[in-house]
């Protein structure tokens, strides 16, 4: 049937937004955290990517290996899922993690770090460090490991690096951050300038998630809770991807500026018209391009597909 002038084209981003809204519409004040987590896992279940999924225990932290065919045994990506430190799991992020692992040709360890409100800050960070030390204990050099994460998981990428640095531990080779939540005070200008463009994440919601993570008396400016406020010296190379429609956009933009000022090698990619962690939605065409870019970055810094320099 021919379209009329009154028709409004439904874009892939619109369809992704409706997927999210369909989940949120089912939640009320009486919906339990357990139900929210179950709903989130179910909404993003499935993994059509041809990787091998193997249950894992990373120093006692429940997790899963995602192993592409012919992936080298001596390299690994450690993945931290998003979900505001309240929801999300290995299951909900299996698809996006698998697509990154497959594109990069590298094994990936995805972990179920502890969530709030049952386990508040710094429980998630402690688990991230345990998983990192587990990989090092398996014979991998820090130079053979990269961190990756989205949203709250992007926060953990940075916080784990900073905590490792402060403890005198060697840092991983690189970090990939997708729409990282770096400022729990939600002070970025984009919380106002992108409020109408962002269909889901408003400042009141972000602040509520921060309080859930930190507890009533927690400090949102603690540098290991809000890495934007940390001393960013000594970080390894970072690739940051964020959508231009996000209220949390400036958590990425400001982070990149501060990290560069501290001497870090940072590549910031702001994707026009994209929503929060758009890489989770394979129906969005830009997702393939974004993950391909992540994969090139990871392969370069983990020296996959070409010879490493002599040690």
pLDDT at 309 over 60: no
Q: Which residue has the tokens 């429940």?
A: 62
Contact 77, 104 (CB under 8 A): yes
pLDDT in tens, 255-303: 999 999 999 999 999 999 999 999 999 999 999 999 999 999 999 999 9
237 and 260 Cβ atoms separated by less than 8 Å: no
pLDDT value of position 9: 85
Predicted structure pTM score: 0.95
Options 3.40.50.150, 3.40.50.1820, 3.40.960.10, 3.40.190.10; CATH of 36-302: 3.40.50.1820
How confident is the model over 39-60, as a mean pLDDT? 94
What is the pLDDT averaged over residues 29-44? 96
pLDDT of residue 308: 42
Distance of alpha carbon 187 from alpha carbon 205, whole angstroms:
13
φ, ψ for residue 53, nearest 5 deg: -105, 125
Mean predicted confidence (pLDDT) in 59-77: 97
Q: 129 burial class (0-12, 13-18, 19+ CB within 10 angstroms)?
A: buried
81 CB contacts (<8 Å, ≥6 apart)? Answer: 88, 89, 90, 92, 93, 97, 110, 149, 150, 152, 153
pLDDT grade, residue 307 (50/70/90)? very low
**Cα–Cα distance for residue pair 67/52, rounded to 1 Å:** 5
Q: What does the pLDDT look like over 161-215, one tens digit per residue?
A: 999 999 999 999 999 999 999 999 999 999 999 999 998 899 999 999 999 999 9
Q: Which two tokens stand for residue 286?
A: 């830009």
Question: What is the distance between the alpha carbons of residues 80 and 61, in angstroms, rounded to a whole number?
Answer: 12
Q: Read off the pLDDT of residues 130-163 as tens digits, 9 standing for 90 and up.
A: 999 999 999 999 999 999 999 999 999 999 999 9
pLDDT of residue 46: 85
- pLDDT digits over 78-134, tens only? 999 999 999 999 999 999 999 999 999 999 999 999 999 999 999 999 999 999 999
- What are the catalytic residues? 151
- Residue 5's DSSP bridge partners are none
- Of 30, 88, 93, the residue nearest 209 (C-alpha): 88
Domain ranges in the chain are 36-302
Arithmetic mean of pLDDT, 19-36: 95
Distances (CA, A) of 98 to 13, 106, 286: 21, 10, 17
């Amino acid at each position: 049937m021919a379209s009329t002038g009154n028709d409004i084209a439904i874009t892939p981003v619109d369809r992704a937004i409706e997927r999210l809204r369909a989940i949120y519409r089912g939640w009320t004040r009486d919906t339990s955290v357990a139900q929210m987590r179950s709903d989130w896992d179910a909404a993003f279940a499935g993994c059509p990517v041809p990787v091998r999924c193997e249950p894992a225990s990373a120093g006692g932290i429940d997790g899963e290996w995602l192993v592409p065919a012919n992936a080298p045994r001596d390299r690994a990506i450690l993945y931290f899922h998003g979900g505001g430190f309240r929801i999300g799991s290995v299951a909900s992020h299996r698809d996006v993690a698998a697509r990154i692992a497959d594109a990069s040709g590298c094994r990936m360890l995805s972990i179920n770090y502890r969530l709030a409100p049952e386990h508040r800050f710094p429980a998630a960070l402690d688990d991230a460090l345990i998983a990192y030390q587990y990989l090092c204990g398996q014979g991998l050099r820090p130079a053979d490991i990269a961190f990756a994460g989205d949203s709250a998981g992007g926060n953990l990428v940075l916080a784990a690096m900073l905590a490792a640095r402060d403890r005198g531990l060697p840092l991983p080779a690189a970090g990939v951050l997708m729409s990282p939540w770096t400022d729990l005070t939600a002070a970025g200008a984009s919380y106002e300038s992108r409020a109408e463009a962002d269909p889901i994440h408003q400042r009141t919601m972000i602040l509520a998630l921060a309080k859930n993570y930190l507890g009533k008396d927690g400090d949102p400016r603690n540098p290991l809770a809000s890495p934007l406020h940390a001393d960013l010296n000594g970080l390894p190379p970072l690739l940051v991807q964020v959508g231009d429609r996000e209220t949390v956009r400036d958590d990425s933009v400001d982070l990149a500026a501060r990290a560069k000022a501290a001497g870090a090698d940072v590549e910031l990619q702001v994707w026009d018209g994209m929503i929060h962690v758009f890489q989770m939605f394979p129906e969005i065409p830009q997702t393939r391009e974004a993950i391909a870019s992540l994969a090139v970055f990871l392969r370069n810094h983990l020296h996959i597909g070409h010879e490493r320099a002599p040690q």
